[in-house]
Amino acid sequence: MPNAFALLGLPRAAALDLEALQQAYRDASRSAHPDQPGGATARAAEINAAYETLQTPEKRLKHLLDLHQVPWRAVPIDDAMMALFSQLGPTLQNVAAFLKRRQAATSALAKALLAPEEMRLREQLEALGITLDAERSALLEDLPTFDSRLTSSDATALADLQTLQARLAYHGKWQAQVREALLNLM
């Protein structure tokens, strides 16, 4: 993919102001739209792909790492992330087992007897969601620090950025799993 930052006229940065990103996208897509003079479908598609890449932190950091030609490496999960995963995994398994039992319940009484367990699972998922949101927010607060580290040629900045990108990707995936589990409980 071409440099998404350059396509939208934005600086290469881990932290981007979302309003500036949206404004840059609107300006670029307006001029590249096929219905405009000088616009082209391929250029509009590139602009859309660039916006899609830059609007989510995980994708933006992955793209930034690609631009710096940082080779992919497996990033180990630290103890705090492993503790969170150790809560999430069993909870998701319990939700899956509960959903099978709920589907098998045919009478109103059988369904009513499942209500307390459903409430407990819902509360566990909501608590996990709150924890994930808080940790993700804390990770996102580190993005401006990485911008200054990258401009100062900090030797470990790219490796640390790769670790941050992996952690954000895990959080994003886990948040989606929690949301899906909550929706399935409805």
| 42 CB-near residues (< 8 Å, 6+ apart) | none
Do 26 and 99 fall into the same domain? no
CA distance 168 to 136: 7
Do 49 and 94 fall into the same domain? no
Of 23-32, 82-91, 113-122, 158-167, the least confident: 23-32
User: What pTM was computed for the model?
Assistant: 0.85
Do 43 and 122 fall into the same domain? no
CA distance 157 to 148: 9
Do 99 and 176 fall into the same domain? yes
Q: Could you read off the pLDDT of 72-120 as tens digits, one per residue?
A: 888 888 999 999 999 999 999 999 999 999 999 999 999 999 999 999 9
Do 42 and 130 fall into the same domain? no
Residue 72 lies in a domain: no
Could you list the residue range(s) of the whole structural domain that residue 158 is in? Answer: 79-185
Do 83 and 35 fall into the same domain? no
Could you tell me if 67 and 156 are in contact, meaning their C-beta atoms sit under 8 angstroms apart? Answer: no
Could you tell me if 149 and 63 are in contact, meaning their C-beta atoms sit under 8 angstroms apart? Answer: no
